[in-house]
Every structure is written in structure tokens, then in C-alpha cells.
Structure 1
Amino acid sequence: MAESTLADILRAAANGHFPPADGGTTVVPQPCHRDAGVIAFTAHSVVFTDEDPEWVRRTLATLDCDGLAATMNPRFLVALLDRTGRRTDTIDLLTVASPLPGPPPLRLTEVRDAGHARAGRARRRRDDVRVWAADGGVVVLGRGVAGRWETAIEVDEDCRHRGLGRALATAARHLVPDGQPLWAQQAAGNARSVRAFQAAGFRPVGAEALLLATDGA
């Protein structure tokens, strides 16, 4: 690939232009201290880290596994976590959707309480966080990896199986500012969330493993 930043790569992917499916790995600097990790597109991976790119390539070369998926191999991820002193949660499905015009087709009330539990969790991973509540659920927007707009939703347990998750994810597409693409991550095993976001028009673009700083930054 030509020299790019992670923001460049994500911007292109949101527009349907992906790294070449050549089995390769691109290593780019972290966009900030908070955000490091791996994104696996079709037959090409992007590792965003401030570690030595040659260390990344040497480590991948030692793995006895399918080269097309080597960056998501647990052995590589553990090596990267050990090297960086970071931690991780899950490998997520990374999805993106275009914005939608007009107000959301769902009654929402913005939550301005800075102490709201969902807002507090979101601010550990995102900037410019905003939270809206609906009857039975919550939708969150904020700037995450490389400044991209990201959304997350929550549905109360007694309100599930009524299409509210899809409605909240759709509402987020109306709320994203500046006509920007909107990103969302779903744990691969969370089938309900995957279905809700895809029903709301979010397109799968790859898999993502974020490496979380342990120093609270």
C-alpha cells in the first residue's frame, strides 16, 4: 500500500475502497496514545501501533498459521499485548454506515448528566460523547479510533425482540454530525447486535481488535 495514515485507510474503507487482498500487512502509527490495535480486512491487515514495524513483521513470520489471518491469531495478539503492556476485550466485527438526513424516526431525549453510567463508560474510549435515551434503550455517539464517529446502543432486557435495537442503530445514522460515516463494532458472538446493526444498514468491513491502555489514558 501507498503510505497512509489509519484515518486515510478508514476513510477509504467507508467509501468501499479497501487495501489490496494480497495477504499483506500494513503497519501504521497509532493515531493517539489511547488507540492501538489490528483491523483485518479481506486478505489484508492493518496494525496500528507505535512499536517497531519490523518487530511486527518478524513476529508474524514466526507464526505457523494461515497468513491471511495471522494478525488475528491469538499468538500474535498475545505477543503484541505483551510487547505494548496493553489489554484487550474481544475481537469485534467492524461495520460502517452512511449518515441519513432528517431527524431520527424515534423519540429520543438527550442525556446531559455527565455522571450517566453509559456516558462514563463511553468516555473511556471515545471523545465528544453524547448520549440519548429512548423508551427502553440508549444510543451513544462519540469520536473513537482515528477520530471516526462511532455508535453503541443498549436495549433493556424487557424490551428486547421488538425491533428497538434496529431502531436505535438507525437513529444513530440520523444523529451523526457533518455528514460523516458512522462506525460500530459488534462482538462476533453477539448475534442479536449483529442482526440489529445490519438491519439498520451497517455494512461489515472487517474485524477489529483494540489494544486498551492500562494507565487510564
Structure 2
Amino acid sequence: MNELGEILRGAATGAFPAVDGGWERIPMWRDGVEGVVAFTGHAFLAVGADASDADIDALGADGFGGASNPRLVSALAGRGWIDALDLVLVARGAGGEPALQPRSDLRNHPRAEHATSVRSEVRTFGYAAHDDHTLVTLSSGLAGLPEIGIETDPAHAHSGTEVVRRALTLVPEGEVVVAACAPGNARAVRAFLGAGFEPVASVQLWRPDRA
């Protein structure tokens, strides 16, 4: 758990960073992956030491949108891969009897492969029926917190909210868990909100190639 993890845990209780327009550097939580996490009026950047604070300031970083400006992100990523800008949502684990099964056969699902590229210790879960390809990933994700992602199988009648609620049983009761959703993916955002998640910040990740 790093500094950002504690900040996100605080946000889950309603305690947010100061709205001061500032930005600050935080340690990277996964080798090779950098990112910006922006709250209301304050931003945090996890960037390698080869990008100095002066470099980041010169790119216009601030807590009022500057740290998430596409020009800043593109400059820091260089020729590297850039992920979508996502909404960060938080909830708490439900614990109890797990309502989903481990599904190692879903490891090659595109969403599981994406999770593996930016998170650690990715595990895949789903329903018992092997013709049901509804997927839940549970990882050590943003700032080292448990992070879940979902994708429903359109051939089966599971609502997104139902799947998210089941996914929360995979996390110990009361433990803060995060999820990231593209704001334009309204269906996914509604599913997480319906299962009790609350939006607290935005995040954008990249794998830099500044050489």
C-alpha cells in the first residue's frame, strides 16, 4: 500500500485532498506503468525519475485539469502506449461466501489480458457454467488496492450490477476496492453505481517510451 492507496481509502470515507490547484509526485506502484490520478482541485502523478518536477511544471501540470491535459500525458508517454482516461470508483468488499467461481479458462479474455498489462496478481472469476464467458478480474491494481473489472457475456442474462455485486464477495468485508470505467461507457458506470460504488477521481495510465 503506498501513499495514493491511503488517499483513496480516505476518499472512500469522504476525506479528499485539499482543493488547492496543486499537483504532487507519488511513487509508481507498478514497474513500467506511469499515471495521473486527479481529484477535485488536486492531482497526483506517478512518473519515473527521468522526468523532473520542472519538466512536469513546464508541461502545465496543475490540479485544475492541467495534470490530465492530453498534451502533458502525450509528452510524458513519448512513443509509449496510452490508456483511456477513466473514472475511479470505490466501494467496500462484501466478504462472505464467494458468489463467483475461479475461471482460469478466461485468462486469455481480452479484458483479462488488458488487466495483466497494467495490474499485478490478476485472477479471473465467473459463473460455474463453462459456456458462460462473463468475466470478473480481481487484481492488485491502482495504488496496490484490490481492483475489479467486469465484462458480461451477452448470451447470458446477467445484469452488470448483479455481476459487480457478486464480484464484491471476492474482497474481504470492509476492504476498500477500486474500479476504473471510461466515462463514455455509461452502461458500465451505471452497473458500478448500482452496486454501491462511488466516483472519487479520474485516472489515466501509460507505459512510457521517452527514449
| TM-score where L is the length of structure 1 | 0.81
Give 1:179 shift: 4.3
Deviations 1:76-120 (A, max 9, x none): 2222222xx43212100110101113235x5x3211348543544
Distance across 1 between alignment mates of 2:196 and 2:86: 17
Residue 146 (structure 2) aligns with: 149
Residue 129 (structure 1) aligns with: 122
- Contact 2:30 2:119 (8 Å CA) reproduced: no
- Contact 1:137 1:164 (8 Å CA) reproduced: no
Residue 84 (structure 2) aligns with: 90
Give 1:198 shift: 0.4
Higher mean C-alpha displacement, 14-23 vs 181-190? 14-23
Residue 203 (structure 2) aligns with: 208
Give 1:176 shift: 1.2
- Contact 1:123 1:129 (8 Å CA) reproduced: yes
| TM-score where L is the length of structure 2 | 0.84
Unaligned runs of 5+ in 1: none
Unaligned runs of 5+ in 2: none
* Equivalent of residue 176 in structure 1, options 171, 176, 183: 171
- Contact 1:132 1:138 (8 Å CA) reproduced: yes
Matched letter for residue 97 of structure 1: A
Instruction: Tell me the matched-pair count.
Output: 201
Deviations 1:118-170 (A, max 9, x none): 544432222222211124622110111321110000112344xx552101111
Distance across 1 between alignment mates of 2:69 and 2:7: 22
Distance across 2 between alignment mates of 1:24 and 1:140: 33
TM-align CA RMSD: 2.4
- Contact 1:40 1:71 (8 Å CA) reproduced: yes
Deviations 1:52-99 (A, max 9, x none): 1221122216xxxx96111122122222222xx432121001101011
Q: Percent identity of the aligned residues?
A: 37
Matched letter for residue 151 of structure 2: E
Give 1:192 shift: 0.3
